[in-house]
């Protein structure tokens, strides 16, 4: 049966969906920008009956006599400081990353070019020797170009997200004066700007790249899609530095601010007297927004590339069926439209009136997008796929039906939702696991740590079963292609996922600004409620990122094994087994590096904060201003310096193993790092999230049980703060960075597979 969607229609649908996503994000940004952060807007009304925004009397009463102009000016000043700090950090980081990008691009060109000795002659195709394909030198050049494009798109995604978040935080604070619903909508719209920009940019750049490369490659789709894998590598390589550098930055500032401010000096979180407070707020943006944006963009790019590589050597590629070939991109296009409809449910169709409605509204976003997307996938599978086709499966072509491929994508999509909700159960203080952790603080920090670790380990069980089921179902139906599209299914609602995820740090910053601007207690309660919901949704986002990373990494692993012409990976051969055991060790080595980095950076921060409290007269009394800039500089310098060794570990491992030990040992390393990395990442993220929310549970004192543990400053609260401080590097540095470790090593191995297959295994050749 012929495909219903013509090639021309495909060429129109994909870019149109991407442009709709970009336009929608700009509309959201415009709406957010209408909240002014300049004092003039809030000047006293001209006439006795005039109202500003219809909120005049209400605002003055709400602020409890505080001069409105001063508050707005103060908010604007704090927002500028946070924005400048975040921008200067990212520019410093991107200078280093730029150097790495140039060096690595040259490496890609040299390694891949040397496969055929830089020959410009056409060669027989790998999977069809009767036909000739473009030379390896072309793959080298185009892979390098794709790598740079992926890297630049990833950097741009992170940077734009961070800019939008720092633009929206004070606006969220100011809207909180009109009610919690107004503040929620500003924070959520701002998150949506980032989500849609990232999803649409990633899709558009990938689509354009494929079409431009097609001009040169013509009918050689195998070479074309092999060179496209560089796009995924570029996206993930930049994400590694964004995640690790941003994670070290944010936690050095957070731990420093908490240990001296809350534990030693007994002042509230985000108190303007604390010198590390601006650095802490900057950190939320560079770690949780810029890092998360780059990370999920990397996952999206890689799962698309893995699917395209496998499809190019299946019937889609062999028969040159363009619409079916771009099935992964059509799923992403549908995802943008579905997420757009879903977003309207949060911002336009329903209004939040009370604090208790915030978290359900965010969770509904996940459910609505998943249900609608299931229908969307069914439509795409029906119009873009022939009723029967073949998929390449380790040397043979396997016959697959279009409904089977639909099930592969759907199982990934629903597995993502399950992982999200399990993560929420283990990290939200609305449920018993976190309340048990909070309760354990009665007997001190040690029991809190023990309970938190146990919770993290336990929280791995259901997500792993969800991933296992989706792997089994998708592989049974459509081999490695099935796993790649299952990963894409999980990431198909990326725009909504990112909107929810970015909402967290924006709300967190809004609370910090309210505290620093000296706003009334009522407003801080509202921003705290937004922040508490954001904490849980951030944990859900991390769950999604880790789950999708596991599937993406497995799909890339399959593409690598196909590309390196390995028929079977036999665990019982010593070559593979040593790789397996070393690969399983790598996530621990990497976590040790990142946690120690946070520790040493936090040490410098603690010393600086203590020095300022001890040497600046009037700082504790609030009559003198702290030196925020020095703390921002400490975080920036430490994170840039400390991100290089973990980055080098991830980047160099596949190159060294592939070159010295060959593709079989490397396949063992990839399998080992995937299996252990997923477990460590989930448990680290959830342990940290649970400790954080146990502390917030005690601070909020919303239930009778919580009030018996509080108030702030009590012994159980101090024990909870210590747990939270230990959990910070786990949940925001090591845990989230691990998913990049497992993806990046796999995509790098795939890109360099032709070189390793031809020249790798030097040690075994010598002996």
105 domain residue, yes or no? yes
Cβ–Cβ < 8 Å for 243, 545: no
58 in any annotated domain = no
The residue segments making up the domain with residue 159 are 73-766
pLDDT of residue 128: 65
Contact indicator for 377, 410 with CB cutoff of 8 Å: yes
Task: Give CA angle at 527 (522, 532), nearest 5°.
Answer: 125
pTM to 2 decimals?
Answer: 0.89
Phi and psi torsions of 677, nearest 5°:
-65, -40
| pLDDT band of 136, cuts 50, 70, 90 | confident
Measure the CA–CA gap between 490 and 377, rounded to whole angstroms. 12
Rounded distance between C-alpha atoms, residue 507 and residue 315, angstroms: 48
Residue 39 lies in a domain: no
Strands, E assignment, 319-395: 388-393
Does residue 31 sit within a domain?
no
User: Per-residue pLDDT tens for 537-570?
Assistant: 777 878 888 888 899 899 889 888 878 877 778 8
Give the residue among 142, 324, 321 at the shortest CA–CA distance from 223.
Answer: 142
pLDDT digits (tens, 9 = 90+) for 456-481: 999 999 999 999 999 999 999 998 89
How far apart (Å, rounded) are the C-alpha atoms in residues 287 and 732? 7
Residue 42 backbone phi and psi in degrees, to 5: -100, 20
Question: Quick one: pLDDT at residue 239?
Answer: 87
Give yes or no for residue 27 having a pLDDT over 50.
Answer: yes
- pLDDT (tens digit per residue) in 735-763: 888 988 999 999 999 999 989 988 888 88
Round to whole Å and give the CA distance between 294 and 498.
Answer: 11
pLDDT at 60 over 50: no
The separation between CA 517 and the C-alpha centre of its own chain, rounded to angstroms, equals 30
pLDDT band at 188 (very low <50, low <70, confident <90, very high): very high
644-661 vs 735-759: helix axis angle to the nearest 10? 30
Q: Is the pLDDT of residue 50 over 60?
A: no
**Residue 456: predicted pLDDT:** 95
133 strand-pairing partners: 123
Over the range 316-329, which residues count as b (16 or more CB within 10 Å of their CB) and which as e? bbbeebbbbbbbbb
654-711 pLDDT tens trace: 999 999 999 999 999 999 999 999 999 999 999 999 998 899 899 888 788 989 987 8
From 274-288, 361-375, 410-424, the region with the lowest mean pLDDT: 274-288
Question: What string of H, E and C letters represents the secondary structure of 243-259?
Answer: HHHHHHHHHHHHHHHHH
43 confidence band (pLDDT: 50, 70, 90): very low
Q: What is the pLDDT of residue 231?
A: 94
Two tokens, residue 166: 């720092």
- Compute the distance between CA of residue 355 and CA of residue 429 in angstroms, rounded to an integer: 15
Q: For position 528, what pLDDT does the model report?
A: 82
List the beta bridge partners of residue 284: none
Phi/psi at 399 (5° precision)? -80, 130
Examine the pLDDT at 276 and tell me if it is beyond 70.
yes
The widest CA-to-CA distance across the chain, in whole angstroms, is: 93
pLDDT at 14: 95
Average pLDDT over residues 216-236: 89
Average pLDDT over residues 337-342: 94
Segment 55-66 shows an average pLDDT of: 40
Residue 39: predicted pLDDT: 64
* Domain assignment of residue 373, yes or no: yes
- Residue with the two structure tokens 């992926």: 150
Report residue 66's pLDDT band, with 50, 70 and 90 as the boundaries.
very low
The more confidently predicted of residues 356 and 629 is 629
- The CA R_g of the chain, rounded to the nearest whole Å, is 26
DSSP code of residue 132: E
Supply φ then ψ for residue 53, to 5 degrees.
Answer: 60, 15
Q: How many CB atoms lie within 10 A of CB 240?
A: 26
Say if residue 351's pLDDT is above 60: yes
For 367, 473, 477, 515, the CA distances from 407, given in Å and listed in that order, are 18, 8, 8, 49
Give dist(CA 614, CA 471) in Å, integer. Answer: 57
Report the C-alpha gap between 568 and 546 in whole angstroms: 27
Q: Are strands 132-133 and 388-393 parallel, antiparallel or unpaired?
A: unpaired
Number of domains, the chain: 1
Residue 283 binned pLDDT confidence (cut-offs 50, 70, 90): confident
CB atoms within 10 A of CB 707: 12
- Backbone φ and ψ of 175, nearest 5°: -70, -25
3-state DSSP assignment of residue 539: helix
Residue 61 lies in a domain: no
Query: What is the predicted pLDDT for the residue at 318?
Result: 85
Alpha-carbon gap, residue 699 to 706, rounded angstroms: 8
Question: In this structure, what are the phi and psi dihedrals at residue 519, rounded to the nearest 5 degrees?
Answer: -75, 165
Share of the chain above pLDDT 70, in %: 95
Distance CA 337, CA 369 (A): 10
- Distance CA(202)–CA(297), nearest Å, equals 7
Q: Is 652 within a domain? A: yes
Distances (CA, A) of 241 to 237, 285, 380, 589: 7, 15, 35, 17
Question: DSSP state, 399?
Answer: E
Task: Please give the pLDDT value at position 409.
Answer: 95
pLDDT band at 149 (very low <50, low <70, confident <90, very high): very high
What the block records as the tokens of 728 is 């910070």
Kindly state the DSSP code that residue 355 receives in the 8-state scheme.
G
Residue 56 lies in a domain: no
391 with 326: CB under 8 angstroms?
no
């Amino acid at each position: 049966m012929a495909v219903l969607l013509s090639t021309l229609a495909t060429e129109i649908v994909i870019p149109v969906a991407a442009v709709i996503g970009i336009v929608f994000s700009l509309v959201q940004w415009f709406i957010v920008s209408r909240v002014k952060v300049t004092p003039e807007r809030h000047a006293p009304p001209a006439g006795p009956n005039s109202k500003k925004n219809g909120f005049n009397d209400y605002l003055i009463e709400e602020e409890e006599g505080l001069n409105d102009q001063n508050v707005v000016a103060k908010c604007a000043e704090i927002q500028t400081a946070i924005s400048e700090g975040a921008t200067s950090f990212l520019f410093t980081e991107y200078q280093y990353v730029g150097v790495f990008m140039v060096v690595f691009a040259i490496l890609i060109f040299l390694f891949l070019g040397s496969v055929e000795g830089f020959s410009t002659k056409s060669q027989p195709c790998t999977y069809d020797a009767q036909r000739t394909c473009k030379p390896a030198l072309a793959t080298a050049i185009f892979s390098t170009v794709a790598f740079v494009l992926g890297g630049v798109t990833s950097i741009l995604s992170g940077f734009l997200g961070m800019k939008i978040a720092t633009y929206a935080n004070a606006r969220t604070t100011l809207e909180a004066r009109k009610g919690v619903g107004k503040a929620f909508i500003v924070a959520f719209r701002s998150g949506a700007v980032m989500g849609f920009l990232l999803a649409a940019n990633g899709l558009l750049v990938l689509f354009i790249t494929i079409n431009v490369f097609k001009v040169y490659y013509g009918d050689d789709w195998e070479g074309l899609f092999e060179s496209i894998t560089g796009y995924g590598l570029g996206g993930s390589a930049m994400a590694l530095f964004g995640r690790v550098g941003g994670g070290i930055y944010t936690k050095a500032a957070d731990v420093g601010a908490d240990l001296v401010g809350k534990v030693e000096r007994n002042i509230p979180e985000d108190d303007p007297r604390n010198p590390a407070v601006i650095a802490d707020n900057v950190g939320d943006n560079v770690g949780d927004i810029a890092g998360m944006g780059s990370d999920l963009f990397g996952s999206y790019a890689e799962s698309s590339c893995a699917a395209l590589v496998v499809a190019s050597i299946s019937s889609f590629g062999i028969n040159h069926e363009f619409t079916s070939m771009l099935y992964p991109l059509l799923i992403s296009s549908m995802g943008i439209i579905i997420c757009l409809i879903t977003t309207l449910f949060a911002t336009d169709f329903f209004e939040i009136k009370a604090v208790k409605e915030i978290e359900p509204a965010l969770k509904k976003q996940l459910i609505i997008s998943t249900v609608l997307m299931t229908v969307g996938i069914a439509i795409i599978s029906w119009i873009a796929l022939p009723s029967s086709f073949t998929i390449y499966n380790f040397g043979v072509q396997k016959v697959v039906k279009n409904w089977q491929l639909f099930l592969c994508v759907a199982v990934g999509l629903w597995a993502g939702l399950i992982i999200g909700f399990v993560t929420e159960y283990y990290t939200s203080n609305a449920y018993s696991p976190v309340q048990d952790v909070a309760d354990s603080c009665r007997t001190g920090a040690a029991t809190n740590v023990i309970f938190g670790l146990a919770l993290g380990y336990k929280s791995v069980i259901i997500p792993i079963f969800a991933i296992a089921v989706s792997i089994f179902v998708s592989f049974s139906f459509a081999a490695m292609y099935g796993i790649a599209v299952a990963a894409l299914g999980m990431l198909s609602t990326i725009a909504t996922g990112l909107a929810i995820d970015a909402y967290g740090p924006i709300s967190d910053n809004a609370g910090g600004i309210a505290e620093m601007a000296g706003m009334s207690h009522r407003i801080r309660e509202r921003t705290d409620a937004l922040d508490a919901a954001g904490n849980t949704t951030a944990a859900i986002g991390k769950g999604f990122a880790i789950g999708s990373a596991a599937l993406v990494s497995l799909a890339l692993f399959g593409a690598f094994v196909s590309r390196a012409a390995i028929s079977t990976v036999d665990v019982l051969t010593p070559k593979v087994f040593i790789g397996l055991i070393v690969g399983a060790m790598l996530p621990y080595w990497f976590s040790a590096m990142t946690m120690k980095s946070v520790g040493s950076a936090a040490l410098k921060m603690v010393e600086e904060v203590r020095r300022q409290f001890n040497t600046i007269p009037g700082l504790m009394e609030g009559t003198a201003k702290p030196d925020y800039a020095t703390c921002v500089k400490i975080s920036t310098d430490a994170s840039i310096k400390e991100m290089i060794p973990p980055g080098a570990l991830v980047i160099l491992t596949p190159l060294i193993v592939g070159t010295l030990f060959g593709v079989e040992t490397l396949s063992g390393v990839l399998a080992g790092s995937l299996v252990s990395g997923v477990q460590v990442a989930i448990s680290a993220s959830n342990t940290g999230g649970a400790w954080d929310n146990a502390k917030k549970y005690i601070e909020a004192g919303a239930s009778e049980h919580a009030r018996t543990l509080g108030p702030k400053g009590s012994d159980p609260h101090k024990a909870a703060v210590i747990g939270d401080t230990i959990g910070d590097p786990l949940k925001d540095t090591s845990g989230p960075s691990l998913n990049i470790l497992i993806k990046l090593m796999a995509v790098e191995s795939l890109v360099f597979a032709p070189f390793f297959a031809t020249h790798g295994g030097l040690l075994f050749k010598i002996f």
